[in-house]
Amino acid sequence: MTTSSESPESQDSEPLNFKNYSILQPLGIGNFGAVSLILTRKSKKYAMKELFLEENEENDPFEEFENHFLVSSSAHPNILKMYKMSNDDEDGICRFFMEYVDSGNLFERIQENLENGFSEKLALKFYRQLIFGLEHIHGMGIAHLDIRPENLMLTRDDTLKISDFGLSVRFKDRNGLPMLVETSGSALYRSPECRKCALIDGPKSDIFSSGVVLVEMLNGCYPWEEATVTDVNYKKWLDGIGDMGWKNAGEQVMGFETLYNLIYKILLAELWSTHYEDTKPAAFLRKILSDDLEKRATILEIKLDGWFQQQNYSNPENSRKRKIARNEQSEKRTKLATILTI
């Protein structure tokens, strides 16, 4: 038996069913399903996400659809549009029909800029859109809980759209009062409280994840493997709150890390301290990556921050320092490669 739901918008324009499209190409595949580009009879392109129900028992596809549909129903520019869902009992697959964007995702864009990272101007452009999207999502009483570059889609004009609500949850009760939610998310991006508590503040956890994404955009790589005191880079971040720390990350782990990982972490730490110490982005990051929930910036505080408000922010001196730091990093990478081949 097949059941389906669709948005009023799709009913008014072009009703979607499962007999009027062809699959053009795969767009991605994961543990629980796949995403494909499809073409309707009216030559309209959509993204179709297929979830294998037997392999996806922990996550409720109906809840994912309801949450995604709710936040995209008002056509917010920074939310990927959800159109329709179909649940086919015969093949055990749940299908979502969604907006298709033609320029991949933020992860792919970062991979193209691993050496230097984004300029502050471009990183801020994307980050502002991420925050506006999160503001809308949280305003609907939903926490995303899986904010990471792979789930941030991009259009040709660099409009960022939040997608994949598979881990999203509602954080308000029937009376509209906030409540804590179960921990979730990727280790690279989730907040430190996810390792400490069974229940967390969903919106504040999303904000922390957004900060890790911002670091990755600016730096070309993520700052730590997980926000826990057992992670050497995160521990240095905690110890250095106020002066940016991370300058000698890795010096205490000779007995536990390979030489390659040790040197890599030291290079990353030196690049960070040279790249952003005493700059506006660094001060901004202190606010959103705080491990203290009371001190972690809210979306309102983020929007009022001076660095965030400067859409075309560009500091020539900071740009000069970054160029020098990148050249030094390139030289160190060359030396590292020589050492590792000896």
Per-residue pLDDT tens over the stretch 175-231: 888 899 998 889 999 999 998 998 999 999 999 999 999 999 998 888 899 999 899
Let me know how long the chain is: 342
49 labelled binding-site residue? yes
Check residue 105 and report its DSSP letter.
B
Per-residue pLDDT tens over the stretch 110-136: 999 888 889 989 999 999 999 999 999
Q: Please give the C-alpha separations between residue 186 and each of 144, 190, 206, 234, 268, in angstroms, as whole numbers.
A: 12, 6, 12, 16, 21
Check residue 41 and report its DSSP letter.
T
Q: Report whether pLDDT(278) > 50.
A: no
Q: What is the pLDDT of residue 203?
A: 97
Check residue 73 and report its DSSP letter.
T
In degrees, to the nearest 5, what angle opens at C-alpha 141 toward C-alphas 182 and 217?
75
Decide if 2-99 and 106-341 have a common fold.
Answer: no
The tokens 């996550």 sit on which residue? 59
Predicted TM-score of the model (pTM): 0.79
Query: CA-CA distance, 113 to 269, in Å (whole number)?
Result: 18
Question: CATH code for 2-99?
Answer: 3.30.200.20
Pairwise pLDDT comparison (328 vs 244), residue with the higher score: 328
- Strand ordering across the sheet containing 93-99: 2-6, 82-88, 93-99, 45-52, 33-40, 21-29
Q: Please give the C-alpha separations between residue 324 and each of 218, 248, 273, 329, 330, in angstroms, as whole numbers.
A: 15, 19, 12, 9, 10
Q: What is the sign, positive or negative, of the torsion defined by CA atoms of 289, 294, 295, 297?
A: positive
Q: Decide if domain 106-341 falls under CATH 3.40.50.150.
A: no
Q: What is the pLDDT of residue 9?
A: 47
The domain ranges of the chain are 2-99, 106-341
Q: What is the pLDDT of residue 258?
A: 40
For 223-248, b/e burial (b = at least 16 CB within 10 A) is bbebbeeebbbbbbbeebeeebbbbe
Which of 84, 87, 78, 71 lies closest to 44 in space, CA to CA? 84
